[in-house]
Amino acid sequence: MFNFIGDFAIVLNYLLFITSFLSVFFYLKSISEAKFLSLARYGLYITNSGIILISFILLLLIINHQYQYIYVFNNSSNDLPFGLLLSTFYAGQEGSFLFWLLCLAVIGIFLQNFTKKIGLESSVMSTFGIVVVFLLLLLINKSPFEKIWSLYPEAIRTGIPPVGANIINISSTQWVMIPPDGNGLNPLLQNFWMQIHPPVLFIGFALMTVPYAFAISSLIIGNYKNWIKYSLPWLSIASFFLGAGLVLGAFWAYETLGWGGYWGWDPVENSSLVPWIFSVALLHTAITQLKTGGLVKTNLFLTIITFSLVIYSTFLTRSGVLQDASVHSFTEPGSAVYLLLFIFLLSIFILGLGLLLYRIKAINSEKSEYNLISKEVMLSLGSIVLSLSALIILAGTSYPIFSKSAVDVSFYDKWNLPLAFLINVINGLSLVVGWGSDLPKIILKKIIISLLASTILTIISYFLGVIHFSMIILIWSSFFAIFINAEKLFRNIKLGIINLGGVFSHIGVALLLIGVIGSGKYSQTKHIELPLNEEKEVFGYKFKYIGEELFDSNKKSYFKVLVKNSNDETILKPIMFVNQMANGLMKIPDIKEMITKDIYFSPIGLKDFESNENVTNIQLKKDEPYQLDDMTLIFESYKIDMEKMMMGGEFSINASVKVLKNNSSEILNLSSTFDKNGPKYTPVKTSDGKYEFVLQRVLKDVVPLLNLGYVKLTDDITAKPKEILVADISIKPAINLFWLGNLLMLFGFILAYIRRKREVKNIRD
Amino acid sequence: MKTRYIIGGIIIVVFLLVAVFSLVNTDIEYSDFSKARELDGKKIQIKGQWVREKGSEYNSEKNEFIFYLKDENNEIAKVIFSGSKPNNFEIASHVVAIGKYKDGIFYSSEILTKCPSKYEGQKYTP
């Protein structure tokens, strides 16, 4: 059954490509001739239910561990807990395309219902459908339903299968054994946040299609007025999801991945940040159009740019063009997908921009005369600054494609710092100026209290350590924005919280920028070694490593670290474990969270004295004396097991070294074995027990060379405790303001969504 | 009305020019060891493979991770990374080291490990 449904899904994929294509075609026809509408709808219904069915099939295959499918084999394994098992649905490229499609199918159901009521179904759903067509085409090329033997023909066998083996018969003589277990999920992804962060981001991506569809629809039918109010609730919720996805990713990076921070200006992070910033800029100019009827072209343009950048983001992260510039992993998806994504991107962009240029003469914005000091101008300025910030990030992120280089992260910090200042100032001012015009004198009167209060707080923060000029300016502007918004919040709370989404978001952004100042600029890190049961003081806290404890059925262990200051005591449990599959060490930090700051404890290693890491390397020439402290070493002879070395198996190298010291001499016989996993050294001590040598390798040159590693074993070392926990301890001031700011900002988006949705409902009724 | 657009346009163009200028200034070139020697002391990035046979070591007192990197021209150089062994170092299909080359040693401030994504490269053995 499971073999059959995968093949069925592939066939269905082709069929849906055709039905979705037909649906777009008939929707376009139905703009002029209504009789095609029902055909278009059938196409849409079939496509949507088909996509849901395909997704259900993949889910079934994953839950039932059907490892004859490459996708399931490569991304999941038997030991994954149910939640993570579900997350393997979108862990790989193929599945993530399908997940995106699934989101689009569900959104499509609501969108069709919505547009039917407002009479825009044909033009909106045809544009929406184009995106679905492209993704279905991508899914045909990158199907999660490929079987193992299509990639590995050598898996096909003939003859009599072993008794009890789990096999699939491909033909009467050929069979394939189903792997008993899968390769599993990347250990870095085996985390609670893997179940939330990617889907939220994908929902945001998918939702961004809707404003685009409204913009194109307005250009098709030539009505540039109404689309913005229909688009606004969708845009608000899309910005919410995209923003939430980014914040969740930041939290994940900070809390468990141990990347040390929440944002690293990594291309993958940047590529989703850029469309989000544009969508936020668009939210502001859209409000202007709603209120004054102006900025129509700007809004159409920004909508097209925002969605194009969503696709561009996918292109950057899925086509492999940024392979070398990111900590995220990509696979080479193959040239077909690369090309498809590129065509997809170009089509979306050219369709939008082409239509806009074609209609540009016909679009007439309301031309109202307004003063320089007015809400319109402030909102426009805000959008311009946001767009500039996005452009800077876009330029830095795309740079590696066009040159054989990458940008230093300092580039982003440098440019966004002044922009953040401007954003804060405009953030505050935009609230106190009215629509139309306002007199500078009145404005000054409105902001004078905020100006004073923020200056006082800035002086206080100077004494708390914010001493750099750029940071003083930035923190001052943040306080300024917060005060103005807070004042507005108190004054207008009686209007109902629903109408104050903007205020919440504005306070959130200003708060999170203060959080960035504290946790970014004024974060300190110290590298320490904690010998077992020995107390060390860092940043005014006493740290004591009190031992290791096993958990997760003895597969992993955490280190217990006691953190004390005068009035409290906590035990931190950073984790370190060897992941079998990855054959590597996984490190998970632990954080002591306090209101004003975090203490971030990231484990680096455990040093026990058997595997001493303070090895010094030296090189001896054969028969040539080498002076090491008060000893003379002579490399006398060596032997390499050539035959075994040629065979590629395990082989050993032996060497003897004469040690002369104070008229006494001894011979050290050193030996090491090598196999494909690397070398295995056998340390040899000198007779006085003061030095320990290992043979690293022998270079067969004209004069053979011997590489030795040695460790000095001084007396006090034996007195040292066995275990030393090595770690980086960071202090992150004001980090909670960063998270709180993000939450407030996202809360504001939700309020905006509810408000804009109500407005649309009121118009309709 | 028109002058406003012109002023706006000029601001954006100037901004972008300055941005591009600073972009070119802060860029970190992809390079190899031979080029790195020429560029003595400039921050660059080198893509290569960890020379497994030569092992790796971590000096916890100095917080330095030391290994040997083979660049794409098969030249091998010692890399001293100021930090601990990066996650996924052992399984990385290749490594990108960002830093400066000096006196035969590459002093790296940042290391990116590229994994065969989700182990897709892992061979299925029937």
Q: What does the pLDDT look like over A311-329, one tens digit per residue? A: 999 888 887 777 655 555 5
- A176: three-class secondary structure by DSSP: strand
Instruction: Indicate whether A623 pLDDT > 80.
Output: yes
Name the residue with tokens 């949705």.
A757
A704 — alpha (psi -120 to 50), left (phi > 0) or beta?
beta
Q: Which pLDDT belongs to residue B36?
A: 79
Average pLDDT, chain B: 76
Quick check: B21 contacting A, CB < 8 Å? no
- Cβ atoms within 10 Å of A751's Cβ, excluding its own: 21
Partner A contacted by B15 (CB < 8 A): yes
- Provide Rg for chain A, Cα atoms: 32
Per-residue pLDDT at A182: 84
pLDDT number for residue A292:
86
CA distance A498 to A374: 24
Chain A contact for B23 (CB, 8 A cutoff): yes
Task: Write down the pLDDT at residue A549.
Answer: 83
Percent of chain B with pLDDT over 70: 83
pLDDT of residue A7: 93
Structure-token match 């876009």, residue found: A394
Mean pLDDT of B79-86: 84
Q: Is B2 on the interface with A (CB under 8 A)?
A: no
pLDDT of residue A258: 65
Position A20 pLDDT exceeds 90:
yes
Whether the predicted pLDDT of B120 surpasses 60? no
**Taking CB atoms and an 8 Å limit, are A157 and B53 in contact across chains?**
no
Assess contact for A653 and A697: CB atoms under 8 A. Answer: yes
Angle between helices A197-207 and A209-221 (to 10 degrees): 0
Q: Which residues of B touch A327 (CB under 8 A)?
A: 112-113
Residues A112-129: pLDDT tens digits? 999 999 999 999 999 999
- Percent share of chain A, pLDDT over 70: 90
Q: How confident is the model at residue B5 (pLDDT cuts 50, 70, 90)?
A: confident
pLDDT at residue A293, rounded to an integer: 86
d(CA A746, CA A240): 6
Q: Distance (Å, rounded) from C-alpha A533 to C-alpha A543?
A: 9
Q: What is the pTM of this model?
A: 0.82
Buried/exposed B98-118: b ≥16 CB within 10 Å, e otherwise? bbbbeeeebbbebbbbbbebb
Q: Tell whether A174 lies on the interface with B, counting CB pairs under 8 A.
A: no
CA dihedral A719, A725, A731, A736 (to 10 degrees): -140
B28-114: in CATH 1.20.80.10: no
Q: Which residue in the block uniquely carries the two structure tokens 């994953």?
A: A62
In three-state secondary structure terms, A612 is: coil
Average pLDDT score over residue span A658-685:
80
Instruction: Point out which residues pair with A405 in neighbouring strands.
Output: B29
Convert the pLDDT of each residue in A693-724 to its tens digit.
Answer: 888 777 776 678 888 878 777 554 444 446 78
Residue A485, token pair as written in the block = 């918004």
Supply φ then ψ for residue A156, to 5 degrees.
Answer: -75, 130
Q: What's the pLDDT at A580?
A: 55
* CA distance to A410, A606, B30, per residue, from B39 (Å): 20, 38, 12
Say whether A584 and B89 touch across the interface (CB within 8 A). Answer: yes
Alpha carbons A657 and A636: distance in angstroms, whole number: 6
Question: Chain A: nearest CA to B61, how far in angstroms?
Answer: 8
The mean of the pLDDT values for chain A is 87
Give domain limits for chain B: 28-114
Question: How many other β-carbons are positioned within 10 Å of the β-carbon of residue A368?
Answer: 12
Nearest to A247 by CA among A740, A601, A649: A740
Q: Looking at residues A149-162, what average pLDDT do you find?
A: 80
Query: Mind spelling out the 3-state secondary structure of A133-158?
Result: HHHHHHHHHCCCCCEHHHHCHHHCEC
Question: What is the ipTM, given to two decimal places?
Answer: 0.71
SS3 assignment, position A210 = helix
The mean-pLDDT minimum among A228-242, A503-517, A602-616, B88-102 falls in: A602-616
- Please judge whether A331 and B84 are an interchain contact, meaning their C-beta atoms are less than 8 angstroms apart: no
Distance (Å, whole) CA A327 – CA B112 = 6
Residues A363-373 have a mean pLDDT of 69
pLDDT reported for residue B124: 43
Residues A435-459: what's their mean pLDDT? 85
Q: What is the pLDDT of residues B15-68, one digit of tens each?
A: 778 877 777 777 777 778 887 787 777 788 888 888 877 778 877 777 888 899
Positive or negative, the Cα torsion across A465, A467, A468, A471?
Answer: positive
| Position A482 confidence tier, pLDDT thresholds 50, 70, 90 | very high
Cβ-Cβ contacts under 8 Å, B53 against chain A: 674, 678-679, 697
CA gap A116, A110 in Å, rounded:
10
pLDDT tens sequence across A494-531: 888 898 999 999 999 999 999 999 998 899 888 888 88
What pLDDT score was predicted for residue A295? Answer: 87
pLDDT tens by residue, A60-99: 999 999 999 999 998 898 989 999 999 999 998 899 999 9
Is the Cβ–Cβ distance between A329 and B115 less than 8 Å? Answer: yes
**pLDDT tens string A645-657:** 655 567 788 899 9
Distance of CA A159 to the CA centre of its chain: 48
Residue position matching structure tokens 């290791």: A548
Distance CA A714, CA A692 (A): 11
Q: What is the mean pLDDT of residues A426-453?
A: 84
Q: Work out the burial of residue A714: count CB atoms within 10 Å of its CB; fewer than 13 is exposed, 13-18 middle, 19 or more buried.
A: exposed
Q: Give the one of A152, A403, A614 whose C-beta lies nearest to B124's C-beta.
A: A152
Distance between CA A611 and CA A146 in Å, rounded?
A: 46
